Amino acid sequence: MSDRIIAACDGAAKGNPGPAGWGWVIADSQGRPERWEAGPLGRATNNIGELTALQRLLEAVDPGTPVEVRMDSQYAMKAVTQWLPGWKRNGWKTASGQPVANRELVEAIDRLLADRDVTFQYVPAHREDGDHLNAIADQAASDAAISQEAAGTALGSPEMPVPAPAAAAPARRRSGGAAKRTSAGTASGGGGASRAIKAKFPGSCACGKPYAAGELITKNGSRWGHQACGS
């Protein structure tokens, strides 16, 4: 039997619903990234992006290869590992009697999981100490949501997406109302703007344009980007 490979998948929606995309990365059994793919979804929800990413990942893995799938979406993971049997018994209705959302995607994933050796691992998202493969999949999905273009190893893009710097968990607020700070020195209290830092790696801004390693960037909402693009 082949060694269990490690993979991660993620979806993104800029607005939820909004411009959406999906992405996955497949590594060897040691966790070394080997190939990736991402694609656009037009206007869709984040949940559709998450489920589509899992579907496309399973389609890319040989059915006979054991795989560990890492995800930061509890919805997508629980949908296919916990809730699915009950939905089937209830005629594809939820416990409250409502039709199951995104049923076609869930059914497609259910068929892909049949007779396969697949394990799922939840990993927290957007953490400085988070899972590297999940960060790559997240960046791939985010880039696809912005560009609305497909990319990946098989499409002539051999280099892995480089995740934007993730902020450390904010420190506990001290007495006296001191602002919380991240390890990058970004103040999140008192209404002040985020302080700029030099990017360690190249990445892409929410505006859709790239920034280079060494360029000054700042936290714009949930991601890093050009100073001029901050609110």
Sequence letter at residue 150: A
Options 110, 126, 130, 230, the catalytic residue: 126
Is 176 annotated as catalytic?
no
| 138 is annotated as an active-site residue | yes
Residue 46 carries which side chain, given as an amino acid letter?
A: N
DSSP 155: G
Examine the residue annotation and report whether 72 is marked as an active-site residue of this protein: yes
Distance CA(19)–CA(222), nearest Å, equals 16
For this structure, is 115 an active site residue? no
Options 11, 23, 39, 225, the catalytic residue:
11
Q: Can you name the residues that pair with 223 across neighbouring β-strands?
A: 220
Find the catalytic residue in 37, 72, 131, 143. 72
Tokens, residue 177: 């109302």
Per the residue annotation, which of 49, 138, 152, 203 is the catalytic one?
138
Buried b (16+ CB within 10 A) or exposed e, 155-179: eeeeebbbbbbbbeeeeeeeeeeee
Of 142, 58, 147, give the one whose Cα is nearest residue 107. Answer: 58
Q: Which residue of the set 23, 37, 49, 50 is catalytic?
A: 50
Asked about 132 being catalytic, the answer comes back as no
From the list 167, 188, 169, 168, the residue with the least C-alpha distance to 178 is: 188
Largest CA distance in the chain: 60
Beta strands in the chain, from DSSP E residues, in sequence order: 5-13, 18-27, 33-44, 67-71, 118-122, 151-152, 197-198, 203-204, 210-211, 216-220, 223-226
What are the residue numbers of the active site?
10-11, 50, 72, 126, 138
